[in-house]
Amino acid sequence: MNTLDASMRQHFHQQLARREAELRLLLRNSGDLGSEAPDTAPRDVVDFKELATEQTQATVDDAKTNHAVHELDQLAAARRRLDDHSYGLCLDCGDAIDLRRLEALPATPYCTSCQAVHEHERPQATRR
């Protein structure tokens, strides 16, 4: 099944590439995270919260770094799905992922409802 036409695939290819570049930059400059948009405060708080109880800024940076590494994995997987035309379909239920969700989180492998399930099982580096 192929939910996205060629121009949309091209669009998301660019989104993925841009996000990947951002994350790589972030990892290079970890400790200087000012480039992250303020409204992307992490909601993937399971390990984040554990870590953050004791210390503050340093562990926040660590959590962001872990988050970035994880998201890079997701981006790589998303690119493969883009190549084999399964991008945009939820890995769990196979439904098309809402385009606005893909715009916000181009690497996300799950639709909103499956994401909610996964966030209960194990933290995903996804914010919404």
Binding stretches for Zn ion (CB under 5 A): 90, 92-93, 111, 114
| Nearest distance, CB of residue 83 and Zn ion, angstroms | 21
| Nearest distance, CB of residue 42 and Zn ion, angstroms | 22
Place of tokens 């035309």: 85
**Judged by CB, which is closer to Zn ion: 75, or 114?**
114
Residue type, 40: T
**Judged by CB, which is closer to Zn ion: 22, or 92?**
92
How far separated are the first and last CA of the chain, in Å rounded? 25
| Nearest distance, CB of residue 126 and Zn ion, angstroms | 13
**Judged by CB, which is closer to Zn ion: 8, or 96?**
96
The span from the CA of 65 to the CA of 52, in Å, is 14
The angle that helices 57-83 and 45-54 make with each other, rounded to 10 degrees, is 160
Q: Are 89 and 96 in contact (CB under 8 A)?
A: yes
**Judged by CB, which is closer to Zn ion: 31, or 94?**
94
